[in-house]
Amino acid sequence: MRGGRHIAAVTDATFDLAAGECLALVGESGCGKSVLASALLGLLPGNAQTTGTALLTGPDPAAAPTDLLAADERTLARTVRGRRIGLVPQSPAAHLTPVRTVRSQLREVLRELTGVRGQALTEAAETAAGRAAFPADHLDRYPHELSGGLAQRAATALALIGDAPLLLADEPTTGLDRELVDRTADELRRHTDDGRALLMITHDLAAAERIADRVAVMYAGRIVELGPAADFFGSRGPRHPYARGLLDALPERSFTAIPGMPPELGDLPDGCAFAARCTRATDICADPPALTPGHGSSAACHHAEERVDA
């Protein structure tokens, strides 16, 4: 709720995520990606409202899944966050304890989640830092002494501890150079290949292409395309005009920006929210498109089946 009005930040977001799979959630800033991650962890503001279900299953198929949207704070704090779901936050500096060194924070989380003690704890903290390419000679620094990239790597190291079955990584490569982006992405992929699920929220399409199994594209609070990463980044390409525009904006592609600006979430049109920016829009776009399956992917576009020359 904003200014007494209800703002639908995310609407009809439907997807599944299996163990051993990486789903990349992409889209422009403000489209609702981080709000979705916060909703799954119960970290929305107090005046936010959620509807629907978000079911988290466990290793026992006979056990009832946990509905993350219905779970109380006690359940989320004691049994979900850090243990069943790890988080690489979008603003890592805000999630690091300012009066404790990186080493002490790693040690604390290791003790709590793994039970490691003594000399093994020191070694485990250094190993955890190494997984996120955090330099050992910076472990005794405080968060305010870290650059943005180092804070990002510290937050990633903390998130990987405990090997939670599901990892939410919200812009995990922000502030990193290309070499560290690739190294971080590869570590997240190894985490996934060991049988865990990864939801990676990112603007970095190169990182998504490197490790994602599927891609979900969000626009104005809705998922407008969902399909295999091989199709999305390959010769078949995206089916939704907005998704295609994201790829065309890359320097290694046509380097062409999408015209216009996204609509305000509090003032969305009745039909397709992308129509005002779309070169393929027609009168039919006044009706809201549904996310419908097609050749390998689902797309919320009335013109998704039309051929588009690359």
237: left (phi over 0), alpha (psi -120 to 50) or beta: left
113: left (phi over 0), alpha (psi -120 to 50) or beta: alpha
Residue by residue, pLDDT tens for the chain (310 residues) are 555 678 899 999 999 999 999 999 999 999 999 999 999 999 999 899 999 999 999 888 788 999 999 999 999 999 999 999 999 998 888 889 999 999 999 999 999 988 888 889 989 999 999 999 999 999 999 999 999 999 999 999 999 998 999 999 999 998 899 999 999 999 999 999 999 999 999 999 999 999 999 999 999 999 999 999 999 999 889 999 999 999 999 999 989 999 999 999 989 999 999 999 999 999 999 999 999 887 778 999 999 887 655 4
Domain spans of the chain, in order of start: 1-84+164-303
Q: Which long-range contacts (CB under 8 A, 24 or more apart) does 75-81 make?
A: 76/41, 76/42, 80/41, 80/42, 80/56, 81/41, 81/42
Distance of CA 308 to the CA centre of its chain: 29
Question: Which pLDDT value is given to residue 310?
Answer: 44
**Dihedral sign of CA atoms 23, 244, 204, 208 in order:** positive
Judge whether 90 and 33 are in contact, CB under 8 Å.
Answer: no
Right CATH number for 1-84+164-303 from 3.40.50.1820, 1.10.3720.10, 3.40.50.150, 3.40.50.300? Answer: 3.40.50.300
**Alpha-carbon gap, residue 202 to 129, rounded angstroms:** 22
